[in-house]
Amino acid sequence: MKWQIHRLQVRPAFTGYRLDQYLAGAEIDISRTMAKKIIDLGGVHLNGRRVRSCSTVIHDADSVEVYLDRLPLEPYRIEQREILFQDKFLIVLNKPALVETQPTHARYKGTLYEALQWHLKDDFRPHQKAEIGMIQRLDRGTSGLIVFSTHQRAHREMTRIFVEHQVEKRYLALVHNAPEHHQGEIRSLLARTRKENRVKSVVKGGKEAITRYKILERLGEFSLVDLELLTGRSHQIRAHMAEQGCPLVGDVRYGGQVNVAGLRLQRPMLHAVKLAFSHPVLEHKLEFTAPVPADMKKVETQLRGSEI
């Protein structure tokens, strides 16, 4: 899912215009209503800085950048059913797919981080924002379990738990083909390539990444795989499975197909299904599971049906 980026320079005739007026009259084919929503989300940057006020006045030669991520313009808000656990120290959520975990150039409002600030706002005094520790991240397309610390007494210990790998993180993935062995462990050094904006295994210079896998079910030319992350590198599962000749279904960046079993997929079929760790303050064991989301179930059902 590629972004659209419009880079504009204000001409003298538009000096004194409100930002939303300018965008509606600029050569990017959006209405003023849509311009207001994009500005409110945080997708408009003026002279290199994000601007979220529609009434901002622009001037000759100002640079304006508009980032469109093709996601809904209505900001995401956390629903009660998505909260699996919450106390004064932590919150564990079942993240929907196609929600950004943290702010991007295209949006601040409606990311999981901002939605969590909104959810916690009643716990704090006016004009005081929640203190949120982002210990882990899930890609936009990945659904499932994610934990945030929400109190300063929990931040450091939660970071230690994840850094020292004292957490169990399991994922379900639908992949093309099947790994050579029924189960195994993949170890490599992962590094990002700037040219392709992908992560891949390298001989040196990368960060250690360890993924354990087990084939749960073969579905013709596809497989349902259980994965355990012993490290938490960016795109780790996506890169490791692609390098096994088993890219995630729907993961175009790493070689997966988006048209599968008569369905056109909107994301890689990856779901964070289990999370287990000790409470950072109270020290008791916490363990959570998240049900497989409807879109992933639908693909599985279609693949099973095509085998008959």
Phi, psi of 92 (to 5 degrees): -115, 125
Going along 21-151, which residue ranges are E strands?
Answer: 44-46, 49-50, 63-68, 83-86, 90-95, 133-134, 143-149
Residues with active-site annotation:
139
Find the angle CA(111)-CA(117)-CA(122) to the nearest 5 degrees. 145
Cβ partners under 8 Å of residue 156, min gap 6? none
Query: Quick one: DSSP state of residue 80?
Result: G
Phi, psi values for residue 129, rounded to 5°: -90, 150
The percent helix, strand, coil of the chain (3-state, each to 5) is 25, 35, 45
- Both tokens of 83, joined, read 């909260």
* Rounded CA separation 64/9 (Å): 6
* Strand 222-229 versus strand 198-202 pairing type: unpaired
Distance CA 300, CA 261 (A): 9
CA pair distance 255, 264, nearest whole angstrom: 15
**C-alpha to C-alpha distance for 301 and 54, rounded to whole angstroms:** 46
- Give the CA distances from residue 282 to residues 93, 100, 277, in Å, rounded to whole numbers and listed in that order: 19, 30, 12
Which has the closest alpha carbon to 300: 247, 183, 222?
222
Contact yes or no for 193/200 (Cβ under 8 A): yes
Cα–Cα nearest to 113, from 158, 71, 76? 76
